[in-house]
Amino acid sequence: MVKALAIDVGTTSILTAIVDERGVVTNAHRQRLSLATPNPGEVELDGVEIARLATELGTRTLNDAGGADVVAITNQRATTIVFDPVSGEPVGPALGWQDLRTVIDCLVLQGEGLRLAPNQSATKARWLVNHSGRNSHDLRFATIETWVAWNLSEGAVHVTDRSNAGVSGLVALGVEEWDQRALALLGLDPAMMPEIVDTMGTYGRATGLPGAPLICALVGDQSASLFGQSCVTRGAKVTLGTGAMLDMVRGPQGPDRMTRFESGCFPVVVRSHNGEVIWGIEGIVLSAGACIEWLRDDLGLIQSADETEALAESVPSSEGVAFVPALSGLGTPQWDFGARGGFFGITRGSTKAHLVRAVLDGIAQRCADLVDAAHRETGQALEEIRVDGGMSANGFLVQRIADFTGLRVAVSSEREATTRGAGLMALVAHGALTTDDVEGLWSPSRVVTPSLDDEGRSRSRDDWANVVTRVERTIPELSSVEF
């Protein structure tokens, strides 16, 4: 049986595991990453640490499993590293995808006709070059999959895949080449940019790992999760993590622009193989699991996230209490960075259970907002939504997502669907599987159906829309900013 080593570099940790032809994930090793926030809105990681842990944990997994044939790398998109190709050392910190230090740069560039967001790689790369004191011609640009592949190949491979390049803000329409005008406006020499390749292919050998397996898949985390839940020719998933992200397969027809659509969704490459690109759309809830962490770590209402399901189910309703999870603003569809979270309808009789239930309801309602936005954008009516991530273990939340969307909700049997999807992509690239095989691997741990009728759902969605308007434009000057 052909085996893939999957290296999954997330926002806060790195995971390595074996994925076999059945989609089974084994021999997992995980370690937390060092995360620094030197100033408000700044998020830094250590590129040297990421490269070291990818090698160390990958070696440990390979030794446990008796080796692997291929390697897949999946990553938090847009985290940016600029490095010296001679010394192999980064010229500064890795700027995390959440890092907002280039907000003003993005606003200035809008005046020059270049629309960028601070959570894209483009302005992060310029910041790193400018603060290095070096000429960009002598440096190299990398997102995390590029950086890990370069290190595992001991400097032989400098590539990025289409799913990562597509959200960088630096790529031309079609995601085949870099946007020369954007590079010029940012002062980035084309020589520093990696080659853009398919998400599935053969890029070189990971000579830094035992057995030097072939690197056969590079893919952004959300596209990997979609594939890991067997959404191949159609379908959509929601990953429930710190935020919540809906990704949906659209097909081979590319977009007419790489910026956000009117629906609040934006185009993404879900995969590419042998030059064929399959496109999709993505919508984002900025605060999901982060709200549960807030209840636990800052408010002290709960001791652990596991308590929330039982607390929510201990009361028949929230008794009119509503919560809008906008701790970092509203993403899809509003994209209102000045919105702020809020509880509404609290009375003297409101208890901890009512507040917790309202928070879970709010997260589920925001997931329904994503589904509605995807329908507006594509015109495709879904019958089922697939879910993964840590919060997919919460039965109450999953039921409420079904209630508010009116869809079946199928829970991934593999919570690490991103890791699974990356490994499966490498196996397809190697020829051990076909995409049809991957589509047939779907076997959810459970399927939840709606308990609300159409009238009840419509009423709850109308009530929700009214509540959301009460948090919009909380900070008008931020709400007026568009990226």
3-state secondary structure 425-476: HHHHHHCCCCHHHHHCCCCCCEEECCCCCHHHHHHHHHHHHHHHCCCCCCCH
Structural domain harbouring 273: 230-411+452-483
In a domain, 211, yes or no: yes
Query: Is 121 found in the same domain as 27?
Result: yes
Q: Does 438 reside within a domain?
A: no
**Residues 58 and 154 grouped into a single domain:** yes
- Within-domain flag for 332: yes
In a domain, 81, yes or no: yes
For 266-296, write each residue's pLDDT tens digit: 999 999 999 999 999 999 999 999 999 999 9
The tens-digit pLDDT sequence of the chain (483 residues) is 999 999 999 988 999 999 999 999 999 999 999 999 999 889 999 999 999 999 999 999 999 999 999 999 999 999 999 999 999 999 999 999 989 899 999 999 999 999 999 999 999 999 999 999 999 999 999 999 999 999 999 999 999 999 999 999 999 999 999 999 999 999 999 999 999 999 999 999 999 999 999 999 999 999 999 999 999 999 999 999 889 999 999 999 999 988 899 999 999 999 999 999 999 999 999 999 999 999 999 999 999 999 999 999 999 999 999 999 999 899 999 999 999 999 999 999 999 999 999 999 999 999 999 999 999 999 999 999 999 999 999 999 999 999 999 999 999 999 899 999 999 999 999 999 999 999 999 999 999 999 999 999 999 999 999 999 999 999 998 898 888
Residues 210 and 235 in one domain: no
CA-to-CA dists, residue 163 to 76, 169, 280, angstroms: 11, 12, 10
Could you give the angle at the alpha carbon of 261 between the alpha carbons of 476 and 332, nearest 5°? 50
Q: Rounded to an integer, what distance in angstroms lies between the CA atom of residue 123 and that of residue 480?
A: 20
Assess whether 183 and 266 both reside in one domain. no
316, part of any domain: yes
Residue 434 lies in a domain: no
Beta-strand relationship, 214-220 and 35-36? unpaired
138 and 263 part of one domain: no
Q: Are residues 402 and 278 in the same domain?
A: yes
Buried b (16+ CB within 10 A) or exposed e, 114-134: bbbbbbbbbbbbbbbbeebee
Last residue of a domain, which of 205, 222, 239? 222
Domain end call among 192, 222, 252: 222
Statement to judge: residues 270 and 138 lie in one domain: no
Cα separation, 181 vs 253, whole angstroms: 24
Residue 268 sits in the same domain as residue 207: no
**CATH code of the domain in which 400 resides:** 3.30.420.40
What pLDDT, on a 0 to 100 scale, did the predictor assign at position 478?
86
Does 190 share its domain with 277?
no
The reply to whether 168 and 289 lie within a common domain is no
Per the structure, how many domains does the chain have? Answer: 2
Final residue of a structural domain among 222, 256, 285:
222
265 and 380 in one domain?
yes
What is the C-alpha radius of gyration for the chain, rounded to an integer number of angstroms? Answer: 22
Q: Are 142 and 94 in contact (CB under 8 A)?
A: no
Residue 423, in any domain of the structure = no
Residue 167 placed within a domain: yes
Q: What integer pLDDT is reported at residue 428 of this predicted model? A: 98
Judge if 261 and 192 occupy the same domain.
no
